[in-house]
Amino acid sequence: METLHTTLLIIGGGPGGYVAGIRAGQLNVPTILVEGASPGGTCLNIGCIPSKALIHAADEFCKARSYAAETSPLGITGSEPRIDLERTVAWKDGIVKKLTGGVGALLKKNGVKLVEGWATILDGKTVEVRQEGDAEASVRIRCEHMLLAAGSVPVELPFMPFGGPVISSTEALSPSGVPQRLVVVGAGYIGLELGTAYRKLGAQVTVVEAADRILPAYDADLVKPVAAALGRLGVELRLGTSVLGMDGSNVRVRDASGVEALLEADCVLVAVGRKPRTTGWGLENLMLDMDGRAIKVDNQCRTSMRNVWAIGDLAGEPMLAHRAMAQGEMVAEIVSGKRRHFEPAAIPAVCFTDPEIVVVGMSPLDADKAGIEIVTANFPFSANGRAMTIESTDGFVRVVARKSDHRIIGWQAVGGAVSELAAGFTQSIELGAQLEDIAGTIHAHPTLGEAVQEAALRALGHALHI
């Protein structure tokens, strides 16, 4: 068996792993990255990118249908539209292929050796990699530093395993057709993003959620515009309802009062979360300290074993690609000899529902629980000219600042295209901005960003347009 030697060995080519590889290569650290599928991991291949592509296609189809129904206030009409789902999926796959190919090119450009295959950990310095479909073709890799970046997998319900009509987000992103009746189990961001897309593509969608409202991880004010939009689309919500399993082709559910019912379904999307990928690749051989399902790490992403690191979803919440990227970059720099710690002031989270939700830093409730006296204000998009021109006036921008010194500690927004405000929100917190800094910054007109300035102005007591 061939044996390779390297300074840094990265297991997993997702956002965290490939960014770590690129940065390590830039710093002249000999690096090998092992990936069993295409570079880019869940995010690029079967997650963030393809889901946003499908959401966009569904939005465009939904708009075209509204024009055919002669309901558009813009005065646009058209003939009855159709969608060729095979072409839609091919377009989505083309985007994925372009991005994953770009990742591979960047790794090569920076001198990172990409080994295609599935790694099995033998010890803290050694892995064995087998090639897909060829048990005889394997290679052993020895390293000084091992970076674990294996990502996560969808949570499977034991009484409703994946297979047949029961699918995960992976299968939902490559549909061969639109089911007539789709039941979505879980009203978190994955379930609602994909459930909304399928509704816009023409499916009858029912969402089942055990909590008493959708998006239970987000505060109620942010969720209201999303719930209203789901109602207008005709998505049926079964809240406070538990799923019991399949009964033939039906989904058996029980509501809060104990009443059971059957929901007809041609397809069932189970979207009840993700869990770190900790089994099937020899991780147990390292006997690392764990934090629940995740690997326990410190603020440098070090595990309990010297020179073994873990990043991204494998290291627990928040399971966000941009968090993994930042951690991967940091680990590469530490391995190269730089001093770094992972201590971000804030990590943005975006829910790509319709309308979108952005959360950065503390909400008013978070601040109250932490005993921080605050000043907070929101500015509605109904008073924003740009929001009116893109027909997206539901929602608002909210700022949260310490009362003592007006230092901004949080931003929240819900509305059309508010994901694009996330960078500015995060940057203001990282730079320690005060309300006066945002209020005194000239914002371009007409843009959604004006609502950011107006929220700060309103918190100071003198909003201009409300």
Nearest to 251, CA basis, from 183, 155, 304 = 183
Give the β-pairing of 408-415 and 356-361. antiparallel
* Element at 308 (helix H, strand E): strand 308-310
- Which residue in this structure is represented by tokens 């499916």? 203
What DSSP state is assigned to residue 353? S
Q: For residue 465, indicate whether it is catalytic.
A: no
| Sheet containing 356-361: order of strands | 349-351, 356-361, 408-415, 396-402, 374-380
Q: Which of 56, 322, 445, 462 is catalytic?
A: 445
User: Packing angle between helix 15-26 and helix 321-335, nearest 10 degrees?
Assistant: 30
Q: Taking the chain, what is the end-to-end CA distance rounded to the nearest angstrom? A: 72
Give the β-pairing of 204-209 and 181-185. parallel
Q: How far apart are CA 66 and CA 81, in angstroms?
A: 10
Which tokens belong to 155?
């949570």
Q: How far apart are CA 87 and CA 394, in angstroms?
A: 32
Q: How far apart are CA 279 and CA 410, in angstroms?
A: 37
Encoded amino acid at 28, one letter: N
Cβ–Cβ under 8 Å, residues 3 and 140: yes
Nearest to 279, CA basis, from 303, 255, 314, 304 = 314
Q: How far apart are CA 99 and CA 417, in angstroms?
A: 22
Cβ–Cβ under 8 Å, residues 25 and 330: no
Cβ–Cβ under 8 Å, residues 372 and 401: no
Nearest to 152, CA basis, from 33, 19, 329, 317 = 317
Nearest to 401, CA basis, from 356, 347, 461, 322 = 461
Sign of the CA dihedral running 111, 323, 432, 340: negative
Which tokens belong to 134?
């060829």
Nearest to 349, CA basis, from 413, 437, 441, 290 = 413
Which active-site residues does the annotation give?
445
